[in-house]
């Protein structure tokens, strides 16, 4: 099998991953600083309330039909591979219009509907939701910008979005600290909302200057977005809602069966795990996989799939081992009152091992098996509610962590067996995972050589103002 196809895939993946990783380091530093202030000035109870309010906002994001985001990115990537520019423009135009209108609708529903929560649950949480409702407006535009960046393989711009968000949030938090010498939940929420609006403004100005000459709307092939929704997009929309509901209902089960403080303790452990997982960036693959399946035959993609499984297993295992020992030191220094979260985080790290199947879901997604992908989160939601109720009520926070691990592991396994039933060639063996052949060595060597040259050029540009 020619080496260049497999190498080019990993070259694109690593290059995209580099931007997410390098800028991700800056994001993580900013996140740590911002979280440091939030956890320092909010009590454990207040942080629990803050997380619960955000969970209601995320559940409400179903009003934005957020499941369409991945579908549009996938289709735009496919159109780019086929150089079908009219369809790209038409799809992005229709998606942008729908996303903006839904953002306005979601804001209105949540902002004015928050009073129902005030009547039946808690007036404070209702006030927090009113603040968060403005995120629906800015998130709609940011999503459009991000899809364009990713589809055109402009990973540096895409990775810059969270940097701008966290940087803006940092300056706003500092402003509040200087103004009031403390932080309240309302101030933290306003910092998040204001930061996204500033980021949106910066991106909007960039887009106007960058793409104003190429913004035209083809008249042919109208309603391409609605055709997509009617054929397979509806499954992705429903799937997205169930995923968000399943992920956030867990926090409310913890509140019901334990306490608001337990929500904060679990959330810190879960956030630590999520940040460790992001060390190996997967965002670039969502764009690259559709291109590879569109351009290469199945035998070549099989080679890519199996080598990816091997590389991901060793990468995530290494990251997990390092994090197991490093994270406790960081938590004791920066967030000492959350030391109690560490045992739960360390157990969570076992979930990293299932990332050997990282390409499985993306491959099924690219194959447009939306009915199956719809069933997965629906059953996941039932699993969270049923297993969560049983385990959390009996084993408290340990039960929440065990439930999360079981739910994720079960469905990764289900997706893998579904995929190999559709494509038996992708079945993994121990040899595929643990044996390194000459191609592996050549791929690693070429990647190392290619990016060493790339970094050298960038460093020379930075420090000497010229190419090597």
pLDDT for 109-123, tens place per residue? Answer: 889 888 777 666 667
- Given this model, what pLDDT does residue 81 score? 67
| Mean pLDDT of all residues belonging to the chain | 81
First to last CA, the chain: 34
DSSP state of 221: S
Choose from 234-248, 253-267, 433-447 the range with maximum mean pLDDT: 253-267
pLDDT for residue 388 is more than 90: yes
Instruction: Find the range with the poorest average confidence among 198-202, 218-222, 312-316.
Output: 218-222
Provide mean pLDDT across the span 280-296: 53
Integer-rounded Cα radius of gyration of the chain: 23
| Short-list 384, 324, 373, CA closest to 352 | 324
Q: Can you give the pLDDT at residue 406?
A: 92
Tens-place pLDDT, residues 183-194: 999 999 999 999
CB-CB contact of 217 with 90 (8 Å):
yes
Select, from the ranges 219-233, 268-282, 441-455, the one with the highest average predicted confidence (pLDDT): 268-282
pLDDT above 70 covers a percentage of the chain that reads 81
DSSP H or E run through 340: none
Residue 216 has pLDDT above 70, yes or no: no
Of 311-325, 341-355, 357-371, the least confident? 357-371
In percent, the amount of the chain with pLDDT more than 90 equals 31
Specify the pLDDT at position 43: 93
Q: What is the pLDDT of residue 286?
A: 47
Check residue 315 and give left, alpha or beta (phi > 0: left; psi -120 to 50: alpha): alpha
Most confident residue range from 19-23, 236-240, 316-320: 316-320
Q: Looking at residue 118, what is its pLDDT?
A: 65
Q: Across residues 54-63, what is the average pLDDT?
A: 84
CA 103 to centroid of chain Cα atoms: 19
Alpha-carbon torsion angle 380, 251, 347, 44, nearest 10:
170
pLDDT digits (tens, 9 = 90+) for 60-112: 887 787 777 877 877 777 777 677 777 778 888 888 888 999 999 999 988 98
**Dist. CA 285–CA 222, nearest whole Å:** 29
Mean pLDDT of 235-250: 81
The average pLDDT across 134-144 equals 91
CA distance 417 to 413: 6
Greater confidence, 386 or 156? 386
Torsion 171-174-178-184 (CA) sign: positive
Cβ contacts of 29 within 8 Å, gap of 6 or more: none
CA–CA dist 101, 93 (Å, integer): 13
Taking residues 400-413, what's their average pLDDT? Answer: 90
Residues 6+ apart with CB under 8 A from 54: 132
What Å distances lie between residue 382 and 173, 266, 403, CA to CA?
Answer: 38, 20, 12
Look at 353 and 17; give whichever has higher pLDDT. 353
Three-state DSSP at 241 gives: helix
Query: What is residue 185's predicted lDDT score, i.e. its pLDDT?
Result: 94
Distance, in Å, from the CA atom of 392 to the CA atom of 415, rounded to the nearest integer, reads 26
Evaluate if residue 256 carries a pLDDT over 90: yes
Would you say residue 314 has pLDDT above 90?
Answer: no
Given 3-state DSSP classes, what are the helix, strand and coil percentages for the chain, each rounded to the nearest 5? 90, 0, 10
Residue spans of the domains in the chain: they are 3-451
- The pTM of the full predicted model, rounded to 2 decimals, is 0.79
Instruction: Give 155-218 as a DSSP string.
Output: HHHHHHHHHHHHHHHHHHHHHHHHHHSS--HHHHHHHHHHHHHHHHHHHHHHHHHHHGGG----
Q: Tell me the C-alpha distance between 22 and 459, whole Å.
A: 14
From 147-156, 289-298, 411-420, 448-457, the region with the lowest mean pLDDT: 289-298
């Amino acid at each position: 099998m020619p080496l260049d196809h497999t190498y080019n895939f990993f070259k694109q993946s690593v290059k995209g991953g580099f931007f997410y990783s390098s800028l991700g380091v800056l994001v993580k530093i900013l996140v740590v600083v911002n979280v440091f202030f939030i956890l320092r000035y909010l009590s454990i109870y207040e942080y629990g309330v803050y997380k619960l309010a955000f969970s209601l906002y995320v559940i409400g994001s179903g009003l934005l039909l957020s499941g369409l985001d991945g579908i549009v990115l996938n289709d735009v990537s496919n159109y780019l591979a086929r150089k079908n520019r009219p369809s790209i423009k038409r799809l992005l135009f229709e998606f942008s219009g729908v996303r903006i209108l839904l953002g306005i609708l979601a804001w209105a529903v949540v902002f004015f509907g928050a009073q129902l929560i005030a009547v039946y649950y808690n007036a404070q949480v209702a006030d927090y939701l009113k603040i968060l409702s403005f995120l629906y407006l800015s998130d709609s535009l940011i999503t459009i910008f991000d899809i364009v960046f990713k589809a055109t393989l402009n990973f540096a711009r895409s990775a810059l979005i969270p940097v701008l968000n966290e940087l803006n949030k940092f300056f706003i938090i500092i402003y509040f600290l200087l103004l009031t010498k403390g932080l309240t939940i309302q101030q933290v929420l306003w910092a998040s909302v204001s930061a996204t609006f500033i980021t949106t403004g910066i991106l909007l100005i960039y887009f106007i200057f960058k793409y104003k000459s190429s913004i035209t709307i083809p008249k042919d092939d109208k309603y391409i977005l609605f055709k997509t929704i009617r054929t397979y997009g509806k499954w992705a929309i429903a799937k997205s809602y169930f995923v968000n509901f399943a992920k956030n209902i867990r926090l409310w089960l913890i509140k019901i069966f334990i306490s608001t403080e337990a929500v904060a303790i679990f959330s810190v452990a879960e956030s630590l795990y999520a940040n460790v997982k992001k060390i190996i960036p997967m965002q670039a693959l969502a764009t690259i996989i559709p291109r590879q399946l569109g351009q290469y035959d199945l035998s070549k993609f099989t080679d890519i799939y199996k080598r990816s499984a091997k590389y991901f297993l060793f990468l995530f295992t290494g990251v997990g081992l390092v994090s197991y020992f490093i994270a406790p030191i960081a938590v004791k220094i920066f967030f000492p009152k959350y030391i109690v979260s560490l045992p739960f985080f360390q157990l969570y790290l076992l979930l990293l091992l299932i990332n050997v199947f990282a390409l499985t879901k993306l491959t099924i997604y690219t194959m447009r098996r939306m009915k199956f992908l719809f069933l997965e989160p629906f059953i996941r939601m039932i699993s969270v509610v049923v297993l969560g109720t049983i385990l959390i009520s009996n084993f408290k926070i340990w039960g929440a962590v065990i439930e999360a691990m079981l739910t994720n592991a079960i469905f990764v396994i289900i997706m893998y067996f579904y995929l190999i039933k559709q494509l038996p060639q992708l079945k993994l063996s121990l040899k595929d995972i643990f044996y390194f052949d000459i191609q592996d060595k050549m791929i690693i060597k070429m990647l190392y050589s290619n990016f060493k040259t790339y970094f050298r050029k960038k460093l020379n540009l930075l420090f000497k103002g010229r190419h090597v």
